[in-house]
Amino acid sequence: MPVIWIVGEPVEVLVELANPCAFEVYVESISLSVYHGMFDAFPVSLTLPPSSAQLLSLSGMPLSVGTLAIWGCIVKCFGMITEHLFEDFGEETVARGPALVDPFKNSHGVHHAALYN
């Protein structure tokens, strides 16, 4: 069962960020990483306390019809920009609702959604 999002309507993906370090981490920006030419991702910034985890809603807006592949998220932290790929949970998990992932774990999953007017 594909996930369907509407062009021009904001979409959200729930992620879990983890800071395993013994010091506070300031994330300058984090936003969805997608494979689709017409998607406006909304970056957010936050501070993660030492040895903590936080749920975060990443959002954006599809701007045209087509297939949207959500690769993961783009993170700017410590002056570096990196892409962190989401784990592949399978279509059943995506169809049930948002999946919690740690964007600081690299894996090779991609989630697809169909976009309609």
Max alpha carbon distance in the chain (Å)?
Answer: 47
Helix (H, G, I), strand (E, B) or coil at 91: helix
Per CATH, the architecture of 3-116 is what?
Answer: Sandwich (2.60)
Looking at residue 98, its pLDDT comes to: 41
Residue with tokens 């983890």: 18
Averaged pLDDT for residues 70-87: 86
Averaged pLDDT for residues 9-38: 88
Q: Does the predicted model carry a pTM greater than 0.85?
A: no
Averaged pLDDT for residues 14-37: 89
Structure tokens belonging to residue 111: 């989630």
Would you say 59 and 12 are in contact if contact means Cβ atoms under 8 Å apart?
yes
Closest CA to 61 of 116, 8, 3: 8
Averaged pLDDT for residues 80-87: 84
The residues, ordered by sequence, that sit 6+ positions from 57 with a Cβ below 8 Å of its Cβ are: 12, 13, 14, 15
Paired residues of 5 in beta bridges: 115
